[in-house]
Amino acid sequence: MHSTNPSPIYLDNNATTQVAEEVLEAMLPYLTQYYGNPSSMHTFGGQLARSIKQSRESVAALLGAEPSEILFTSCGTEGDNAAIRAALQAKPNKRHIVTTQVEHPAVLSTCKTLEKQGYRVTYLPVNGKGLLDLHQLKEALTDDTALVSVMCANNEIGTVFPIERIGHIVKQRDILFHVDAVQAVGKLPLNMKDSTIDFLVLSGHKLHAPKGIGALYIRKGVRFRPLLIGGHQEKGRRGGTENVPGIVGLGKAAELAMEYFEEEVTRVKSLRDRLETGLLSTIPDSQLNGHQSLRLPNTTNIGFKYIEGEAILLSLDREGICASSGSACTSGSLEPSHVLRAMGLPYTLLHGSIRFSLSRYTTAGEIDRVLQVMPQIVTRLRAMSPFNSDTDEQQGWLQEKQQDLENVAVR
């Protein structure tokens, strides 16, 4: 189904990004002209191996890694699953995992499944800004801990965790360290050569490559057993015929990410700050969710009291503006964001929080348009909202909802 608006104002880049024209151009020959199987004996198919090699080198360069440390996957979820399960297989006598309450569902759901298989999982809390207490992390580690899994940057609020400080704590106990860096790659500097990370995951569609392609960094010397068992592809680490067009696209996207990195942390950040400052200064009873400075340059999550986020999103959509109320992988749920719940936000903010995530394609004119329509939307919705009153009945209802939230165990 095609949108009636051919040019939306797209501020949902943490969900997925526009495929770069350069990426599409690089991929097209491998969908039409060079369609062979890279495992074939004949030259027509075998020549594709050189293209895969070049893309592996490009992804490795973006991460500051060796090409041999890069494994191509189908997505971030596969990478997280493969890394977590490989880490546990490498430490078969240990049954404890440490992660956080604000991880992506790819990690949280895997950990919940592993709990049913007899593993013990510690879910570390965060404070009101979405930050971890590193002393709590250190105290959570035991002789039975096989793996620590902590995301690099949160997909909903953009908060960045001190990954290398965490890694040094983890390595003092000889524990494997997995990092979901899906939102961070291309937006934060990463250098695996000097890192304590054992497994790092990225996804192509978060950095202007297509959906269906990702990569897993596996530090040299770390034991790895494949999640997908089949042929000899990826040096026996992932069975299945290689997605050559996707791999080529990811390689090109990695090159572009290095080329545009400074723009990401300067111009895009400036537009993000302009949007954020404008909304907070013109809309009363609004607040920033997350940390002011320790976050991704493209992400802002703002709570608007007394109204539902879904109503805001529908109103924005009618204006041709795309935003989000949280993770795209959980947006179909009626439950409030597990990230915002973990931060302890009050009910009046929890349901009215919107994430705006920019990209290098975002323009100043688009930001101005959002600043023009958003105050009107909030004013109109608040006038209609039953939450926006101080009656005893309404306040009692809100207190009841707040108590319900506090009684729910955060994953």
pLDDT at 327 over 60: no
375-378 contacts, C-beta under 8 A, 24 or more apart: 375/279, 375/282, 375/283, 377/312, 377/315, 377/316, 377/319, 378/283, 378/286, 378/304, 378/307, 378/312
Portion of the chain with pLDDT greater than 90, in percent: 82
Q: Cα–Cα distances in Å, from 360 out to 23, 132, 295, 320, 382? A: 15, 29, 17, 19, 33
Domain final position from 259, 276, 296: 259
Which residue matches tokens 């078969």? 92
In a domain, 1, yes or no: no
| Statement to judge: residues 197 and 62 lie in one domain | yes
| Statement to judge: residues 60 and 84 lie in one domain | yes
Q: Cα–Cα distances in Å, from 301 out to 127, 199, 275, 286? A: 16, 28, 11, 10
Q: Which residues are catalytic?
A: 329
| Statement to judge: residues 59 and 146 lie in one domain | yes
In a domain, 339, yes or no: yes
Portion of the chain with pLDDT greater than 70, in percent: 90
| Statement to judge: residues 177 and 298 lie in one domain | no
Mean pLDDT of the region 267-273: 98
Half-sphere exposure for 116 (CA within 13 Å, toward CB) = 5
**Residue 37 main-chain phi, psi, to 5 deg:** -90, 120
Torsion over CA: 215, 220, 224, 226 (sign): positive
| Statement to judge: residues 192 and 107 lie in one domain | yes
| Statement to judge: residues 133 and 41 lie in one domain | yes
| Statement to judge: residues 245 and 272 lie in one domain | no
In a domain, 149, yes or no: yes
Q: What is the domain range of residue 141?
A: 21-259
CATH number of the domain bearing residue 278: 3.90.1150.10
Q: Cα–Cα distances in Å, from 180 out to 69, 149, 175, 388? A: 16, 8, 16, 39
pLDDT averaged over every residue in the chain: 92
Mean pLDDT of the region 351-364: 96
pLDDT at 186 over 60: yes
Q: Which of 30-44, 72-86, 239-253 has the lowest mean pLDDT?
A: 30-44
Q: Work out how many domains the chain is built from and give that number.
A: 2
Predicted confidence (pLDDT) per residue in 141-176, tens digit: 999 999 999 999 999 999 999 999 999 999 999 999
| Statement to judge: residues 143 and 182 lie in one domain | yes
Q: Name the amino acid, one letter, at 281.
A: S
Split at pLDDT 50, 70, 90, the class of 351 is confident
How far from each other are the two terminal CA atoms of the chain, in whole angstroms?
Answer: 35
pLDDT at 374 over 50: yes
Which residue matches tokens 């909802």? 401
| Statement to judge: residues 345 and 383 lie in one domain | yes
β-strand 199-203 against 176-180: which pairing, if any? parallel
Mean pLDDT of the region 176-184: 98
pLDDT at 35 over 70: yes
